[in-house]
């Protein structure tokens, strides 16, 4: 007796062709809009070279302030060697680090490959490229730098946590700084929480804390650390978006307060 057969040979799909009936284009579309908005705003803010600090508040786009003016600056003023033709901004010295960290993040890669390059447009949707090249050659092999960006991002977390601590001190009428909390203190502290949730849930950090060569570590402390990172990692997408939004909002908050458009209310 012969059994009925079904031809399941894979048919090459045209670009955008799919059997999916859901709105598969919605997520990459929203991702495209969200990332584009952040890229436009952060680029604009990075080139302003103004309104990035107010008292002890410092915008995360400008922290650490390696060159600049004011009490946060490590080195006062603009470096003499800076080319006259290039617009100067302290943000240009540091934004490569968080930018590189996010650009090489496993979650973001999946998101912007779909939303910006349509490669593929979405799961089970026809793509323009017929050959899968992976990330084994230049330029995408450079995505493997993610682990090294992670080391720098962890350092930045400490710096931003120190900024949040400094944001708890306000100059009094007696010329001495006193402990206090303003809305800006909460905004800067929340920024550290959001960025910590994102950074400490990194895939590379999981491997780093939980693994030895080709195996899990047997150390109970490292297993515990692995569980903690894995727990954050399960919400990595939400942390990625939440921290992206909040870091932009933190810059905006400091900027508008420094301009006098918003008032920084003190709680105590
Ligand atoms: Fe997303 Fe490392 S995988 S930050």
pLDDT of 145-173, one tens digit each? 999 999 999 999 999 999 999 999 999 99
For 194-236, what is each residue's pLDDT tens digit?
999 999 999 999 999 998 778 888 899 999 999 999 999 999 9
In a domain, 156, yes or no: yes
Q: Which atom of ligand 1 is nearest to the CA of 202?
A: 2
- How many whole angstroms from 35 Cα to the centroid of ligand 1? 16
CA of 146 to the centre of ligand 1 (A): 8
pTM of the model: 0.92
124 assigned to some structural domain: yes
- pLDDT score of 6 more than 70: no
Residue 7: the pLDDT is 58
> What's the Rg (C-alpha) of the chain?
23
Q: Is 16 part of a structural domain of the chain?
A: no
> Domain range spanning residue 38?
26-77+86-259
Contact 60, 184 (CB under 8 A): no
CA 146 to ligand 1: nearest atom: 2
- 9 within domain boundaries: no
From 53-57, 98-102, 219-223, the region with the lowest mean pLDDT:
219-223
Q: Cβ atoms within 10 A of the Cβ of 187, count?
A: 21
The pLDDT score that the predictor gives to residue 10 is 61
In angstroms, the CA 66 to CA 92 distance is: 10
Q: Is 107 in the pocket of ligand 1 (CB under 6 A)?
A: yes
Within 10 angstroms of residue 145's Cβ, the number of other Cβ atoms is 13
- Count of structural domains within the chain: 1
Q: How far apart are CA 62 and CA 244, in angstroms?
A: 15
Give per-residue burial for 53-92: e unless 16+ CB within 10 Å, then b: bbbbbbbbbbbbbebbeeebbeeeeeeeeeeeeeebbbbb
């Amino acid at each position: 007796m012969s059994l009925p057969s079904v031809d399941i040979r894979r048919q090459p799909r045209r670009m955008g062709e799919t059997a999916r009936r859901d709105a598969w284009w919605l997520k990459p579309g929203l991702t495209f809009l969200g990332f584009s908005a952040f890229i436009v705003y952060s680029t604009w803010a990075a080139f302003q070279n103004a309104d990035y600090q107010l008292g002890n508040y410092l915008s995360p786009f400008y922290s650490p302030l390696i060159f600049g003016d004011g009490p946060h600056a490590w080195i006062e003023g603009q470096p003499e060697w800076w080319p006259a033709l290039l617009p100067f901004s302290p943000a240009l010295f540091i934004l490569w680090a968080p930018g590189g960290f996010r650009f090489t993040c496993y979650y973001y890669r999946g998101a912007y490959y779909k939303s910006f390059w349509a490669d593929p447009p979405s799961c089970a949707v026809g793509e323009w490229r017929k050959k899968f090249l992976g990330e084994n050659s230049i330029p995408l092999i450079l995505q493997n730098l993610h682990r090294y960006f992670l080391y720098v991002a962890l350092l930045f977390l400490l710096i931003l946590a120190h900024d949040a601590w400094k944001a708890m001190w306000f100059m009094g009428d007696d010329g001495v700084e006193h402990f206090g909390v303003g809305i800006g203190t909460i905004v800067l502290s929340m920024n550290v929480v959001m960025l910590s949730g994102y950074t400490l849930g990194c895939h590379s950090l999981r491997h780093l804390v939980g693994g030895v060569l080709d195996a899990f570590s047997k150390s109970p402390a490292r297993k515990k650390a692995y569980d903690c990172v894995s727990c954050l990692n399960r919400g990595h997408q939400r942390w990625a978006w939440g921290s992206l939004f909040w870091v932009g909002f933190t810059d905006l908050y400091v900027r508008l307060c420094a301009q006098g458009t918003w008032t920084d209310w003190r709680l105590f």
